[in-house]
Amino acid sequence: MAGRLSHVASQIMAGNGVVSRSGASSLRLRSGMGLPVGKHIVPDKPLPINDELVWDNGTPFPEPCIDRIADTVGKYEALGWLCGGLGFFATLGLMATLNDKASKIPYTPKVFPYDNLRVELGGEP
């Protein structure tokens, strides 16, 4: 019985089986869409200098990998924004630490009957 099952499995997975035919055709055609990023071109000559800095995915307009935001924000303006943001979060953390009620009362206050035992603990009747 096991021999027959392995024979059937080998027939299905072999070159003339249904699974291999459907798998091969779908991998070959990719439903007519092609590869995800265009054709893969194997370089046959040396690459140009700084070729790794250009994202060329097969479209007519390759993009630079580095954004060109460095010209619009100055060094000291970026430092000011960084210090302002870090200062805001440091102030927020300090206020949260100072206003931490759990550290001021580390236990749950007990509630007793008879007006919280006011008279029994020496209060005015």
Separation between Cα atoms, residue 91 and residue 87, nearest integer Å = 6
Neighbours of 17 (CB within 10 A): 15
Q: Which alpha helices (H) appear in 15-74, and where do they start and end?
A: 18-29
pLDDT at res. 120: 82
Place of tokens 């249904």: 18
Task: Report pTM.
Answer: 0.36
Which of helix, strand or coil describes residue 74? coil
Across the range 89-111, mean pLDDT stands at: 86
pLDDT 10s digits, 1-39:
555 555 555 555 555 555 555 555 555 555 666 666 666
Q: Measuring CA to CA, how many Å separate 53 from each of 16, 49, 56, 75, 87?
A: 46, 9, 9, 23, 35
